[in-house]
């Protein structure tokens, strides 16, 4: 079924509004946008808006031993992070030609590139797994500018002009996309020619693409393609950890090639190892994860946590 498109009377003013926000963001010094973003996040936090209930439920499930004040502090810092993210996303809509490509190096830096290069040199392709930590969009774009021209598995956005705008910005830094459903054809083509594909492994994924593994002591459906795909193609698996430094800069860190265990073709065992690594990232920087996502969909509240 085709996704619903906005009618013109809604799409035109929305496009104009986003372009104005993009221009505003383009003119802001980086330090100013970080400060304004955090201030905006604090306002939204105080107003208890923007999926606050989902955030609170997820944090309570994953960190039940936090006392009330510590939990509120974590959620407040999480909303400050969202505020900065909003300003960073505005740059996608800048009407200034080539702006995204120039902006990315001011917002993110790449570390551990040698790990990806070593994996790529094997010639069997590279599978990257990552998460919605820090500013994942500027992190991926910074990697693209560093030469990591990967195919990102993602979804088609609506309305179409929004999809085209973001796709063009990604393409400007060397990133392409495989859109699901039906993304596996493009994924296989990329790996067979020795290229790089990237999956987000921190979101809810229902069967058949996902299966239940433990995440924060909760069995929940999780994307399960990394292990079987690596087994089938011989591709190396490289974790891509993204997190924000205190000054607001996102670090895009390639980690050493990931060991999927004795039987990488076993979807559950491999997916569990990947989920464990993602959980370690969230535990290291809990204020920077996408807690507003319904990660524990269809799981009883009584099940979990650490």
Q: What is the pLDDT of residues 50-73, one digit of tens each?
A: 899 999 999 999 999 999 999 999
Give me 279's structure tokens.
Answer: 């959980």
- Give me the pLDDT at residue 180, please: 77
193, pLDDT greater than 70: yes
pLDDT in tens, 205-261: 998 889 999 999 999 999 999 999 999 999 999 999 999 999 999 999 999 999 998
Q: Show the CA angle centred on residue 23, arms to residues 18 and 28, nearest 5°.
A: 125
pLDDT at 275 over 90: yes
CA 74 to chain centre: 20
Chain position carrying tokens 């011989």: 234
Q: Cβ(140)–Cβ(198) under 8 Å?
A: yes
d(CA 180, CA 127) in angstroms, rounded, equals 17
pTM here is 0.92
- Degrees (nearest 5) of the Cα angle 79, 80, 82? 60
The predicted-structure confidence for 224-238, as pLDDT tens digits, reads as follows 999 999 999 999 999
Mean pLDDT score, 99-117 = 98
Ranges 20-24, 32-36, 157-161: which has the least confidence: 157-161
| Helical H segments across 173-257, by residue range | 184-192, 226-233
Judge whether residue 270 has pLDDT over 50. yes
Average pLDDT, the chain: 92
For 127-171, the pLDDT digits (tens) are: 999 999 999 999 999 999 999 999 999 988 877 888 899 999 999
Residue 50: the pLDDT is: 87
The pair of three-digit structure tokens given for residue 55, joined into one six-digit string: 């955030």
């Amino acid at each position: 079924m085709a996704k619903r498109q906005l009618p013109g009377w809604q799409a035109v003013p929305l496009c104009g509004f986003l372009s104005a926000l993009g221009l505003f963001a383009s003119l802001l010094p980086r330090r100013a946008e970080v400060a304004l973003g955090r201030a905006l996040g604090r306002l939204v936090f105080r107003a208890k808006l923007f999926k606050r209930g989902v955030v609170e439920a997820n944090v309570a499930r994953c960190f039940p031993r936090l006392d009330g004040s510590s939990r509120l502090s974590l959620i407040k810092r999480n909303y400050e992070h969202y505020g900065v993210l909003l300003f960073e996303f505005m740059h996608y809509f800048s009407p200034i030609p080539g702006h995204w490509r120039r902006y990315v190096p001011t917002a993110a830096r790449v570390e551990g590139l040698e790990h990806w290069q070593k994996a790529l040199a094997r010639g069997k392709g590279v599978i990257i797994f990552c998460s919605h930590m820090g500013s994942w969009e500027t992190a991926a774009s910074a990697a693209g500018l560093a030469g990591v021209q990967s195919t990102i598995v993602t979804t088609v956005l609506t309305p179409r002009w929004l999809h085209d705008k973001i796709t063009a910005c990604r393409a400007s830094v060397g990133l392409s996309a495989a859109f699901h459903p039906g993304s596996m054809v493009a994924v296989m083509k990329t790996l067979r020619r020795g290229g790089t594909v990237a999956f987000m492994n921190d979101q809810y994924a229902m069967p058949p693409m996902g299966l239940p593994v433990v995440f924060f002591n909760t069995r929940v459906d999780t994307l399960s393609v990394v292990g079987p795909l690596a087994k089938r193609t011989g591709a190396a698996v490289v974790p891509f950890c993204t997190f924000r430094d205190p000054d607001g800069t996102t670090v895009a860190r390639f980690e050493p090639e990931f060991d999927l265990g004795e039987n990488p073709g076993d979807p559950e065992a491999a997916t569990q190892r990947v989920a464990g690594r993602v959980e370690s990232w969230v535990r290291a920087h809990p204020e920077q994860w996408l807690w507003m996502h319904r990660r524990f969909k269809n799981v009883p509240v009584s099940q979990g946590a650490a």
